[in-house]
Amino acid sequence: MKPWNLLPLILTASLAAAPAFAAKASKAAPAAEDPAMTVRPVTGLKALDMPYDAGEGILVRWDVMPHDEYAAVYVVELSSVSAAGPWVKAKEVRSDQGTVAELGFPFWARPKAGQRAVEVKPLDLFSNDSDAAKARVSKAEYFVRVRATNGRQVADSEVVTGRAESDWFSMPRLNNLIFTLVFCGIVLWFISHARKKDLFLRRIPGLDAVEDAIGRATEMGRPIYFLTGRLDIDSISTIAASLILGEIAKRIAQYDTQLKVPHTYAMTMAVCQEITKQAYSEAGRPDAYREDINFFITEDQFAYTAAVNGMMVREKPAACFYMGYYYAESLLLTEVGASVGAIQIAGSDSEHQLPFFFITCDYTLIGEELYAAGAYLSRNPVLVGTLRGQDVGKAFVMLSIFFGVAFATLGVLIGREGWVTTMLEIFKSY
C-alpha cells in the first residue's frame, strides 16, 4: 500500500479523536469561564461535637462541591472570639480528603457518608496545656468557617458555631466490650462448673519439676531463690508471680528449706510478705516463717541484679525461680544461677527475654503458663476452671484466625476487598 493511500484514514481518525482530547485537556487545565471551575462557598456547613471523645474535638462537615474535581483546597478556620474573627487555621484538606473513613471509626460507629468530615481540635489551638485552660477550651463555643480555594480564587463559607462535648460511651470499642464480656462470662461459667467435676489439666513439665527442685535444695541444705520480676505489683505478671510464690512457699515450708525472695519494689515486697506468711500458716509451719524471707534491695535495675548475683555466688542456691516480667537482667541473673549449679525454673510473659530463659534455665514457662501456674500447683478446682476458660478463648482465637485467613483470601480472589476490610474492623482495637 502506498503511504498517501493512508492519508484519508489518518484524517478521519484525527477528527474522531479530537473531541476526546479536547475534553481531557479542559479537565487538566480548565478555561477560566468554565462554571464548574468557579470556586463557591461550601454549602451545608455544620460544626458538630466529635463523637466518642473526651470533649476535645469538633467535627466539621460540609457538602461535596462541584468544583472538588478541580483540585480545590479547603481550610477549616476557628475563632474563639466572634463570627468576625480573628480566625485561626485549624486544618487544611484537599478535595480528595475529608472522608468519613479517615476519621478512623469502624463501620458500626462511623458517621453517615455523603458529606466531608474533618476533625479539628480547639485544644491544640487555644490551650496552653494547663488543666484549667483545657477545661475552659473544652466548654467554650467556637465559630467555624471553611475557606475554599484553588490557588486563584477564594470563597469563604457562612460562619457556624460548634461546641466540643465529652461523650459517655466509646462506640468504636463496642467490639472489645462484647469480646471481654463473653470471655469473662465463659471463665466464670467454667469456674462455677469446676466445683462440680474434676477438669483435665495438661502436664506442664516446668511445674512438675518444682517438687524436685525443692527436694534437691532440702537435701543439699542450700537456699531457694524466688524472684518476682522487674515490674511492680500493679503489673499482672507480677501478681501472677506472687501467686506462684504462695504455692511454692507452702511446699518449701513443709520441707523446712530456706526461702529467699529479694524484691525490687517495696509494695511487691509487702504483698509477698502476706502471701508467704499465709502459705507457711497453711502448710502448718507458722513457726518457720521469718520476716526476712522477703526483703527489699533497690529499685535500680542493675544494682538489684548485682546484689542478687552476689548473693547467688556467695550462698550457691540449689534452686532459683524467675517468675514475672524481665528486661536485660534476665540473662545476667540466670547465667550466674547456672554457673553456681542451681536448678532454674523461669516463667515469663516477656517474649523478648524468653530465648535467654530457654538457653540458661532447666524449665521455662512460656507466656500464659505463667498465669496457669498458680492454679496448676494448687489444683484448686475453682482456679483450674479458669484454665478451661482460657482454653476456650484460645480455641476461639484459632478458629477466628483460620476462618479469617480463608475469608480474606476468598475476598481478594473474588475482588471483594471491602468485605475483608469490614471483617478486620470487628477484630481491631480502637
- Beta carbon of residue 240, minimum distance to another protein (angstroms, whole number): 6
Which residue lies nearer to another protein by CB, 419 or 430? 430
- Beta carbon of residue 254, minimum distance to another protein (angstroms, whole number): 17
Which residue lies nearer to another protein by CB, 36 or 424? 424
Which residue lies nearer to another protein by CB, 71 or 303? 303
Which residue lies nearer to another protein by CB, 89 or 139? 139
Which residue lies nearer to another protein by CB, 90 or 240? 240
Which residue lies nearer to another protein by CB, 71 or 266? 266
- Beta carbon of residue 32, minimum distance to another protein (angstroms, whole number): 48
- Beta carbon of residue 53, minimum distance to another protein (angstroms, whole number): 5
- Beta carbon of residue 414, minimum distance to another protein (angstroms, whole number): 26
- Beta carbon of residue 430, minimum distance to another protein (angstroms, whole number): 11
Q: What is the 3-state secondary structure (H, E, C) of the chain?
A: CCHHHHHHHHHHHHHHHHHHHHHHHHHHCCCCCCHHHCCCCCCCCEEEECCCCECCCEEEEEECCHHHHHCCEEEEEEECCCCCCCCEEEEEEECCCCCHHHHCCCCCCCCCCCEEEEEECHHHHHCCCCHHHHHHHHHCEEEEEEEEECCCCEEECCCEEEECCECCCCHHHHHHHHHHHHHHHHHHHHHHHHCCCCCCCCCCHHHHHHHHHHHHHHHHCCCEEEECCCCCCCCHHHHHHHHHHHHHHHHHHHHCCCEEEEECCHHHHHHHHHHHHHHHHHCCCHHHCCHHHEEECCCCHHHHHHHHHHHHHHHCCCEEEEECCCCCHHHHHHHHHHHCCCEEEEEECCCCCHHHHHHHCCEEEECHHHHHHHHHHHCCHHHHHHHHHHHHHHHHHHHHHHHHHHHHHHHHHCCCHHHHHHHHHHCCCC
